[in-house]
């Protein structure tokens, strides 16, 4: 669906927020404060009563509904819920030819049918830069030939605690005194083992050489306070290295910049000057 069609009669795109945690609450508040060309239209949460109370401070109250009731209310949904809910949130919007902004990008790797659904109905899945950086440069390099993409993530222990990969492999990190490499593999493997911690690796892989050719190391570092991602890309057009050190939100797994990347995306939708892709 074209941008022109994907608007309400009044011109503002109606935006739904699915999941009201570290990312969703910040995005909903920014929409309520005012993003040109966008209007907060509805919100979904696990506990609807609690969500209504949390949103009591909004200037303009919006419906708080279960995820299956969001689609008729909005043109765009921002998915910022647990990864397992991605298909339930995305499918109705894509089937209606609408836009889904996906934060649980790791879950896209096991749900490639969503891309087919978007293609079939003229919808669009958008993966924002989230907690990473430089996806514009990686997609540009992918228009030429990328030889390799390597990522090393270092997180404080509390940013990794409870990940299924650690539990299943009996890897204890609570009392480590030195940095410990806990994983070496691909974003496809990490999306299974670290579904709430490594969306950035999935996003990077989708921008570049895919989830099986991108290499990934994950380190738990007891001295760190910031979620740190280092990326090295070798391509025929350029060689580049990038590092981001993310200040965690109340959710230690999620950096503050994640919600801001969604807000920046929404702001660009209606802006007369758009910087970055
Ligand atoms: N792409 C990226 O760079 C990043 C992606 N993420 C991912 O984004 C997603 C959101 O992250 P956070 O806001 O930090 O997570 P969060 O855990 O703080 O919030 C998720 C919210 O979804 C709600 N929820 C649970 N079941 C629900 C249901 N049935 N219907 C509606 N809401 C429901 C939870 O109550 C919670 O408030 C996660 O999957 C996370 O892994 C997080 C950081 C960076
Ligand atoms: O660094 C962060 O803030 C979040 C992160 O790694 C992810 O979810 O992929």
pLDDT of residue 277: 77
Superfamily of domain 135-246: Dihydrodipicolinate Reductase; domain 2 (3.30.360.10)
Q: Is the CB of 248 under 6 A from ligand 1?
A: no
DSSP string, 169-197: TT---TT-SS-EEEEEE-HHHHHHH-TTT
Please, how many CA atoms are within 13 Å of residue 274, restricted to the half-sphere of its CB?
Answer: 9
Strands (E), 86-172: 99-102, 124-126, 146-155
What fold is seen in the domain 13-131+257-269? Rossmann fold (3.40.50)
pLDDT tens-digit profile of 7-25? Answer: 444 579 999 999 999 999 9
The DSSP output letter for 270 is T
Taking the centre of ligand 2 as the mean of its atom positions, its distance from the CA of residue 237, in whole angstroms, is 28
Of 8-17, 168-177, 178-187, 214-223, the range with the lowest mean pLDDT is: 8-17
Residues with a catalytic annotation lie at 229
Q: Is the CB of 82 under 6 A from ligand 1?
A: yes
Q: Is the CB of 199 under 6 A from ligand 2?
A: yes
Q: What percent of the chain has pLDDT over 90?
A: 93
ipTM of the complex: 0.97
User: Which sign does the torsion angle of CA 162, 165, 169, 173 carry?
Assistant: negative
Taking the centre of ligand 1 as the mean of its atom positions, its distance from the CA of residue 21, in whole angstroms, is 6
Domain boundaries, the chain: 13-131+257-269, 135-246
Let me know if the fold of 13-131+257-269 is the same as that of 135-246. no
pTM of the full predicted structure? 0.95
Determine which residue's CA is closest to atom 43 belonging to ligand 1. Answer: 254
- Residue 139 pLDDT greater than 70, yes or no: yes
């Amino acid at each position: 669906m074209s941008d022109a069609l994907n608007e309400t009669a009044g011109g503002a795109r109606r935006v739904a927020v699915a999941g009201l945690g570290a990312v969703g609450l910040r995005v909903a508040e920014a929409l309520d404060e005012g993003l040109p060309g966008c209007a907060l239209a509805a919100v979904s949460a696990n506990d609807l009563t609690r969500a209504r109370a949390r949103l009591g401070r909004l200037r303009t109250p919006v419906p708080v509904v279960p995820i299956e009731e969001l689609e008729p209310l909005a043109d765009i949904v921002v998915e910022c819920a647990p990864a397992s809910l991605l298909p339930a949130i995305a499918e109705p919007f894509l089937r209606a030819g609408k836009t889904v902004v996906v934060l649980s990008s790791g879950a896209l790797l096991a749900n490639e049918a969503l891309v087919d659904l978007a293609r079939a109905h003229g919808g669009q899945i958008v993966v924002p830069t989230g907690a990473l950086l430089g996806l514009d440069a990686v997609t540009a390099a992918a228009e030429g030939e990328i030889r390799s993409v390597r990522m090393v993530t270092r997180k404080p222990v509390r940013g990794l605690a409870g990940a299924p990969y650690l539990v299943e492999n009996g890897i204890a990190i609570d009392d480590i005194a030195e940095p410990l490499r806990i994983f070496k593999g691909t974003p496809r493997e990490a999306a299974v083992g670290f579904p709430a911690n490594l969306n950035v690796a999935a996003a990077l892989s989708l921008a570049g050489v895919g989830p099986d050719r991108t290499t990934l190391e994950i380190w738990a570092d007891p001295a760190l306070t910031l979620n740190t991602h280092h990326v090295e890309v070798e391509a025929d057009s350029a060689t580049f290295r990038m590092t981001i050190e993310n200040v965690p939100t109340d959710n230690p797994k999620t950096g503050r910049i994640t919600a801001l990347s969604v807000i920046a995306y929404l702001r660009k939708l209606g802006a007369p000057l758009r910087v970055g892709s």
